[in-house]
């Protein structure tokens, strides 16, 4: 093995590795796509929170788009549509969970089988269930809404489905109550003019609509204190919160007493085919940009507890593996965290970054054990190389030794001409040997030894005659 052969062998192996990596990169980057997140947001609170993720996502090379016109079932349906459409969206807690169990229809159960396959990136903030009624109605339970006119939101809204389930659990449905389509306006006019007796809304406490309604006189906010624990036990996506006396205003005192409310938590869900690198980046943006504890006026948000959200605890959707890892460590995977700035500097597309991030870890899991075996083995390579070069010299040394042994043992029976021909054959073969430069001394030693045997062979006939 000469140096040129080793060099070309190394170049060939390196080219093969580069070719395989390039093939995998081209093939997989096409499947990864351009690194695009299209976020569905229905309410202004969802939209504002989604926009807070933009800076972190775009600086990592993600193409980010926020759509405002999609909410409730429309969001869920859009997330399941094939093609490059919406792949992330905000969902009211309890919406998908309401589509299972004995109170759900067969159609709803079929929807649950589809919608529950989405992945969660976490729960983001409380959305209390607000039940407003006219002040002159003695409503203390959802059961008291039988024979009443109830505003439940639009047909496709998450509020209507969740509220409908809670009413049905209390024996209230369209057979014994009027379930109106629409939402309660800020002035609560339908409650005052008699077109509605109650309205159910599911909105965050800092919603301008809720803050206005809490200050409207002569309407009541229903208290769930008697049954809140039961709702908490019965419905996994529902918890209880307490609106304390005077928490809205101290003068005038609003509310005038403690009111226990039911609450859901808003979820951010993504399609299951979203690339793991995108899921990781979105989760990191969610954790880095939690909902503020202060509203636009600078007042603390009701029910806000620092550090409680975002949360990886989701009772309705499976939280993706990538999201759980980010929640646990608080950081992006090291490969993604390292590669993104480099890719942005070099102007590489996101698909390249995602590919390397996805497969570099797997490659390391294979390469490290292989290196553990190869490194000790490489210590034997120099010795093997030296042996392979010297093996050619040793072969002709053996041939020369045999010829010299004949000179010592055959005496008068020696065929000088035959031995001379053999010596010339050995000399010619040795002259054609090519060895690396630092083995030249050993090659010339062999040729000197050949000359010594040639000298001895030239005087061998005279020695034989003297012996006779």
pLDDT digits (tens, 9 = 90+) for 189-209: 999 999 999 999 999 999 999
With 90 as the cut, is the pLDDT of residue 380 above it? no
Claim to verify: residue 463 and residue 318 sit in the same structural domain: no
CA distance 132 to 202: 11
Query: Which of 332, 360, 395 is where one domain is finished?
Result: 332
Containing structural domain, residue 403:
381-467
DSSP-assigned beta bridge partners for residue 179: 150
Q: Tell me whether residue 390 is in a domain.
A: yes
Look at residue 360 in the predicted model and tell me its pLDDT: 61
Q: Which residue has the higher pLDDT, 351 or 4?
A: 351
Query: Which range is most confident: 66-75, 214-223, 375-384, 394-403?
Result: 214-223
Same domain, yes or no, for 317 and 455? no
Residue 10 lies in a domain: no
Block residue for tokens 């929170």:
49
Q: Whole-model pTM?
A: 0.73
Q: Within this chain, do residues 252 and 316 fall inside the same structural domain, yes or no? A: yes
Beta bridge partners of 139: none
pLDDT at residue 280, as a whole number: 93
Residues 251 and 395 in one domain: no
For residue 36, give the H/E element and its range: strand 36-40
Is 257 part of a structural domain of the chain?
yes
Among 68-82, 249-263, 406-420, the range of highest mean pLDDT: 249-263
Counting residues of the chain whose pLDDT is more than 90, the rounded percentage is 47
Choice among 123-137, 158-172, 250-264, 378-392 with the minimum mean pLDDT: 378-392
Q: What are the start-end ranges of the H helices in 33-178?
A: 44-52, 54-58, 73-80, 106-115, 158-169
The tens digit of pLDDT for each residue in 420-436 reads: 888 888 888 888 888 88
Answer whether 433's CB lies under 8 Å from 393's CB.
Answer: yes
**Does the residue 358 lie in any domain?**
no
- State the pLDDT at residue 443: 80
Mean pLDDT of 14-41: 63
pLDDT for position 179: 96
Residue 304 domain flag:
yes
Task: Tell whether 184 is covered by a domain.
Answer: yes
Residue 2 pLDDT exceeds 50: no
Q: Looking at the structure, tell me whether residues 309 and 421 fall in a common domain.
A: no
- Give domain status of residue 451, yes or no: yes
Q: Is the pLDDT of residue 1 over 50?
A: no
| Distance in angstroms (rounded) separating the CA atoms of residues 326 and 330 | 5
Q: What phi and psi values does residue 225 have, to the nearest 5 degrees?
A: -55, -35
Do 132 and 257 lie in one domain? The reply is yes
> Could you give the CA distance from residue 389 to residue 55 in angstroms, rounded to a whole number?
62
Alpha-carbon distances, residue 13 vs 18, 234, 467 (angstroms): 9, 64, 64
- How far apart, in Å, are the Cα atoms of 385 and each of 14, 109, 313, 380, 396? 20, 71, 60, 9, 18
| Last-in-domain residue among 297, 317, 332 | 332
pLDDT of 334 reads: 81
Q: What is the pLDDT averaged over residues 66-94? A: 87
Bridge pairing between strands 253-254 and 259-270: unpaired
Environment class of 9 (CB within 10 Å of its CB; exposed 0-12, middle 13-18, buried 19+) = exposed
Specify if 342 maps to a domain: no
Q: Are residues 281 and 394 in the same domain?
A: no
CB 162 within 8 A of CB 104: no
Is 367 a residue whose pLDDT tops 70? Answer: no
**Same domain, yes or no: 232 and 90:** yes
Do residue 325 and residue 192 come from a single domain?
A: yes
Computed over every residue of the chain, the mean pLDDT equals 84
pLDDT, position 62? 87
pLDDT at 85: 84
Residue 219 predicted with pLDDT over 70: yes
Is the per-residue pLDDT at 221 higher than 90? yes
- Claim to verify: residue 201 and residue 99 sit in the same structural domain: yes
b/e map of 104-127 (b: 16 or more CB within 10 Å)? Answer: beeebeebbeebeebbbbbbbbbb
Number of domains in the chain: 2
Give the long-range contacts of residues 453-462, CB within 8 A, separation 24 or more: 453/400, 453/403, 453/404, 453/407, 453/423, 454/423, 454/427, 456/404, 456/407, 457/407, 457/416, 457/419, 457/420, 457/423, 460/407, 460/414, 460/416, 461/416
Classify strands 36-40 and 88-91 as parallel, antiparallel or unpaired.
parallel
The predicted structure's pLDDT at residue 419: 78
Look at 181-185, 314-318, 412-416 and tell me which has the smallest mean pLDDT: 412-416
Euclidean distance between CA atoms 300 and 211, whole angstroms = 12
Q: What is the CATH number of the domain that holds 190?
A: 3.40.190.10
Checking if the pLDDT of 327 tops 70, the result is yes
Least confident range from 193-202, 349-358, 438-447: namely 349-358
Q: Are residues 313 and 443 in the same domain?
A: no
118 or 431: whose pLDDT is higher? Answer: 118
154 and 83 within one domain: yes
- The C-alpha atoms of residue 222 and residue 213 are separated, in whole angstroms, by 13
Which pLDDT belongs to residue 416? Answer: 76
User: Can you tell me the distance from the alpha carbon of 89 to that of 43, in angstroms, rounded to the nearest whole number?
Assistant: 11
Q: Find the helix or strand (DSSP H, E) in which 338 lies.
A: helix 334-346
Give the pLDDT band of residue 14 (cuts 50, 70, 90).
Answer: low
Residue written as tokens 């034989």?
A: 464
**Angstrom distance (rounded) from CA 306 to CA 304:** 7
User: Quick one: angle between helices 321-329 and 276-288, nearest 10?
Assistant: 40
pLDDT higher than threshold 80 for residue 321:
yes
Bridge partner residues of 178 (DSSP): 149
The predicted-structure confidence for 245-280, as pLDDT tens digits, reads as follows 999 999 999 999 999 999 999 999 999 989 888 999
The mean per-residue pLDDT over the stretch 349-357 comes to 71
Regarding predicted confidence, which is higher, 26 or 269?
A: 269
Q: What is the mean pLDDT of residues 72-82?
A: 87
pLDDT (0 to 100) of residue 71: 79
């Amino acid at each position: 093995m000469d140096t040129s052969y080793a060099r070309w062998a190394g170049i060939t192996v390196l080219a093969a590795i580069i070719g395989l990596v390039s093939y995998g990169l081209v093939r997989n980057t096409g499947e990864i796509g351009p690194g695009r997140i299209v976020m569905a947001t229905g309410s202004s609170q969802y939209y504002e929170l989604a926009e807070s993720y933009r800076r972190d996502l775009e600086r990592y090379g993600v193409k980010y788009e926020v759509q405002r016109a999609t909410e409730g079932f429309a969001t869920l349906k859009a997330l399941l549509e094939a093609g490059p459409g919406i792949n992330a969206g905000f969902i009211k807690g309890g919406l998908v969970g309401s589509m299972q169990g004995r109170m759900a229809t067969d159609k709803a159960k079929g929807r649950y089988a589809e919608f529950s396959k989405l992945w969660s990136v976490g729960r983001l903030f409380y959305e209390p269930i607000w039940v407003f009624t006219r002040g002159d109605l003695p409503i203390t339970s959802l059961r008291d809404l039988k024979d009443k006119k109830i505003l439940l939101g639009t047909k496709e809204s998450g509020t209507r489905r969740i509220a409908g389930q809670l009413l049905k659990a209390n024996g209230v449905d369209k057979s014994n109550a009027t379930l109106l389509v629409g939402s309660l306006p800020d002035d609560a006019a339908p409650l005052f003019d008699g077109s509605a007796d109650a309205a159910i809304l599911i909105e965050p406490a800092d919603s301008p609509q809720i803050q206005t309604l809490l200050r409207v006189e002569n309407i009541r906010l229903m208290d769930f204190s008697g049954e809140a624990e039961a709702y908490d036990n019965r419905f996994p996506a529902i918890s209880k919160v307490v609106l304390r006396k005077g928490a809205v205003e101290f003068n005038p005192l609003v509310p005038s007493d403690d009111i226990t409310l039911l609450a859901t938590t808003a979820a951010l869900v993504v399609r299951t085919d979203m690339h793991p690198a995108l899921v990781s980046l979105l989760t990191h943006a969610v954790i880095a940009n939690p909902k503020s504890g202060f509203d636009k006026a600078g007042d603390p948000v009701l029910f806000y507890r620092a550090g409680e959200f975002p949360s990886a605890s989701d009772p309705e959707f499976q939280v993706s593996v990538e999201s759980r890892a980010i929640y646990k460590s608080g950081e992006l995977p090291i490969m993604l965290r390292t590669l993104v700035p480099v890719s942005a500097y070099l102007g590489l597309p996101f698909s390249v970054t995602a590919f390397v991030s996805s497969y570099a870890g797997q490659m390391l899991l294979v390469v490290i054990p292989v290196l553990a075996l190869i490194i000790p083995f490489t210590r034997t390579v120099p010795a093997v190389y030296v042996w392979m070069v010297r093996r050619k010299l040793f072969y002709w040394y053996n041939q020369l030794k045999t010829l010299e042994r004949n000179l010592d043992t055959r005496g008068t029976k020696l065929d000088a001409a035959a031995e001379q021909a053999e010596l010339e054959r050995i000399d010619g073969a040795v002259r054609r040997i090519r060895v690396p430069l630092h083995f030249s001394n050993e090659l010339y030693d062999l040729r000197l030894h050949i000359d010594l045997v040639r000298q001895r062979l030239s005087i061998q006939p005279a020695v034989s005659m003297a012996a006779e």
